[in-house]
Structure 1
Amino acid sequence: MAAHSGAVVVAAQTDEPSGISLFLPAGYDLFWSSVVIVIIAVVFYKMVLPRMNAVLDERASLIEGGIAKAEAAQQQADEALAKQQELLAQARSEAAQVREEARAEGTAIIKDLKAKASEEAERITETARRQIEADRQAASVSLRTEVGALATDLASKIVGESLEDSARQSRVVDRFLDELEASQALASNKEA
């Protein structure tokens, strides 16, 4: 057995690679490794790669769909913004028109109120003027009566006879007042 074991040791020593062959695998390892790689490549190419491509295509279509939806949403938002700005411009225009109409109506109302106030003031002034004229005439009649009574009493005392007769009393009073008015007219003409 010793001879047999020595041969194995010599065979082992002669089979051991040395140098660069140390890094190179044996031929049968290369063959079977190539067969396994080919089988894995075929399985990968036939089964895994189509599924991965399908998943990637699905994700790409989802992304493209999302982008398309986002672009559509952006376009709708832009249209809505443009429409809102147009409506806002219309509202501002209408508000300006309403303000202008309100100013015009306010001016018309103020003019109308001023005209009514002026008419009311003229009516009040005319009423006051009439009242003053009526009061003046009443005062004039009252004054004539009192002046007439005083003039009659004075004339009775001067003349020495009674002027109780109303017709005579009236003539004396009228003559006295006419003379008084004539003297006032002369005095105002001299001043002018």
Structure 2
Amino acid sequence: MAALPGAAAVLAADEEPAGIQLFLPAGYDLLWSAVILVVIAAVFYKLVLPRMNAVLDERASLIEGGIEKAAAAQKQADEALAKQQELLAEARAEAAQVREEARAEGTAIVKELRAKANEEAERITETAHRQIEAERQSAVVSLRTEVGSLATELASKIVGESLEDSARQSRVVDRFLDELEASQAVASTKEA
């Protein structure tokens, strides 16, 4: 047996590759490597590739669904934004209308209050004129009475007879006042 190992060593030494043969594998290694590669490729093609394609297809459909959902959500958001802007514009228009109505109402209230104030002022003025006229009439009556008594007293002193009779006294006072008013009327027409 000792010869065998030495013979194999000799045979091995004789077949040792040299030069470019060092880099190239033997033919039987190439054959078995090709067979194993074909078996692995067939298993990969039959088992792994369909599962990978299924996973990739599922991911693609999820991504497409997500994109569609995102597009739908964006569309809804755009519609909601447009509606909100429309509502905001309507609210602004309504607020402007309310402000205008309030201004008009305020103007109407001011006019109404001014009219009432004017009416009240006219009523107060009318009342004051009536009161002044009543006081003037009262003063005229009082003045007539006093002037009449003074005139009667004066006339009785001048005439020397008593004018105690009320009818006589009244005629004398009326005649005196008529003459006084006539003289005042003449004086005012001369001035005018």
The correspondence of residues 37-48 of structure 1 with structure 2, limited to 5 A, is 37-48=37-48
Matched with 2:106 is 106
Percent of aligned pairs with the same residue? 82
Whether 2:102 is the aligned partner of 1:94: answer: no
Whether 2:10 is the aligned partner of 1:10: answer: yes
Deviations 1:24-52 (A, max 9, x none): 11122112111111111111111111111
Matched with 1:143 is 143
Matched with 1:64 is 64
Whether 2:25 is the aligned partner of 1:25: answer: yes
Q: How many Å apart are 1:129 and its aligned residue?
A: 0.6
| Gaps in structure 2 of 5+ consecutive residues | none
**Aligned equivalents of 1:2, 1:36: Cα separation in 2:** 37
Q: How many Å apart are 1:150 and its aligned residue?
A: 1.0
Whether 2:107 is the aligned partner of 1:115: answer: no
Matched with 2:50 is 50
Q: How many Å apart are 1:148 and its aligned residue?
A: 0.8
Whether 2:174 is the aligned partner of 1:178: answer: no
SS in 2 for 1:161: coil
Bigger relative contact order (CA 8 A; separation at least 6): 1
**Aligned equivalents of 2:2, 2:52: Cα separation in 1:** 61
Q: 1:143 to 1:46 in 2, by over 3 A?
A: same
Amino acid paired to 1:67: I
What TM-score results when the alignment is normalised by the length of structure 2?
0.93
> How many pairs align?
192
SS in 2 for 1:163: coil
SS in 2 for 1:180: helix
